[in-house]
Amino acid sequence: MKIACVPQFSDDCQALIYPITSDWADWSVLATATGVSEALLREEVKGEKGEITPFFANERRVFIVGLGKDPRSSDIIRALRTVVFRHKAKLSAVIGVEMSNLPAAWAEFVANGVRLAEYDFGLYKTDTKPAPVWAGPEGRLELHLAADASAAIRKGEILAETQLQLFRLLNAPANHKNPRTLASWAMQSGDRYGYSVRVFDAGECQAMGLASLLAVGQGSPNEAGFIVMEYKGEGASQTVGLVGKGVTFDTGGISIKPSENMHLMKSDMGGAAAVLGTMEAAARLRLPVHLVGIVPTTENSIDGESMKPGDVIPSYAGKTIEVTDTDAEGRLILADGLAYCVKNYQPDVLIDLATLTGSVIRTLGYQAAGLFTNNDKLGKQLKRAGEHTGERLWRLPLWEEYAEHLKSDVADIRNFSGLPHSQAIAAAKFLEVFTEGHSAWAHLDIAGTAYGDTDFAPQRAGTAYGVRLLIDFLERQIVDI
């Protein structure tokens, strides 16, 4: 699909979309487009969020799409994705969106939403239908704007193209995805977009001392890996380190999970997906930042070699860990990733992302990710980025009292408190130990947001949460932390 700003819609444009807010005033535009009187439109169309009103006028399909009052970028993306996704089989090769009375910056969100509607969740179905014509090489999206918005459109397309790839990664089952898959994705992306990627295999990880990562993966036939990516943007004044949990399937290990939802654990690399996607998008957008992305990746499986509850394992940081629960494995691999990033890159800002705890879902549901940091400025900037993108964050405490829950009799620290409460906080306190007291570190627990209920699939599916959040943060937020 090609996307362009146009002074007027072409004759080939047989589907028109009119996004409106709930305080819309220019009803004459809609009356002309639909052939319906202004009075009737005012009565029937409210512009509320989620409202889609279809018409046929002048041999064209016309959709008036409600955005609600003061829509966030995520509201615009979702509205455009929804209308195109629901009607994708009926739409012509050329789709038009009337934006002459809307901010030009919204072109990014419109382009992003329409492109995301291309995604087909039936990855492995044998009775697949042909892709809709508008999503093919002959497809075209025409945006009627009062000003040039080519830069905004390009950004929306870049983010969508990255998100579409991450959907495929997140939704792929374990027999189609393993640590090597993530490594290959990173290497291909780095080669294509000009950032460096180094993948350390299990033998190299052993020599480097990434013992906590290897302990998690020792029960799997698919060996663990350690992915290190680096993008050096022109004019960069800060180094930002990103660490993402890359468990491509999580059985829970010996502390095995209940079977009911274990099939969803193919999504336990949501943090890795966010880091992979942010690296690619930052490189494509040529952001002026020095960005380091680290993905420790493995499977948490079960066999006679598996890590056992009560084991004491070493770590890259030199600290010993008592493993009281093998299902608290994500924090173990992140511990090595965080310590490696701090020691080898000394980042000004350090952020990790992980589908880490069910506790954060019980606290925040699927509407926001948990944010943990002791740096107030970093916390505010990340929260603002979350509000701007709709990938929301809610800050939870990191008080020292919670560290008491992780004391061990036999090791420097234990990985799981065993308490029926505050588990997301205890996990964050565990990770904090391996940041070496970094003054600008944040942990994002994205368990409820990376893989959630969706209007675009019959079951839960990947959301690519974190990419738009982090790109917004990197573009506009990081100053003087």
By DSSP bridging, strand 196-200 and strand 225-232 are antiparallel
β-pairing verdict for 413-414 and 290-300: unpaired
- Does the active-site annotation cover 331? yes
Give the CA distances from residue 308 to residues 220, 254, 317, in Å, rounded to whole numbers and listed in that order: 14, 6, 21
> Which residue bears the tokens 């949501």?
270
49 is in an annotated binding site: no
Q: Is there a binding annotation on residue 329?
A: yes
- Report the C-alpha gap between 122 and 459 in whole angstroms: 11
> Which string of b and e fits 198-223 if b means at least 16 CB within 10 Å?
ebbebeebeebbbbbbbbbbbbbebb
Q: How far is CA 249 from the centre of its chain?
A: 18
Type of residue found at 165: Q
Give dist(CA 22, CA 47) in Å, integer.
4
- Helix H, strand E, coil C: the string for 411-471 is CCEECCCCCCCCHHHHHHHHHHHCCCCCCCEEEEECCCCCEECCCCCCCCEECCCCHHHHH
How many other C-beta atoms are found inside a 10 Å radius of the C-beta of residue 319?
16
Task: Please identify which of the residues 168, 180, 257, 460 carries the catalytic annotation.
Answer: 257
Residue 218: both structure tokens together: 């020792």
Residue 250 labeled ligand binder: yes
Strand-strand pairing, 312-313 and 321-322:
antiparallel
- Residue 308 annotated in active site: no
Q: Binding site residues for Mn(2+), as ranges?
A: 245, 250, 268, 327, 329
Catalytic residue IDs: 257, 331
Q: Binding site residues, as ranges?
A: 245, 250, 268, 327, 329
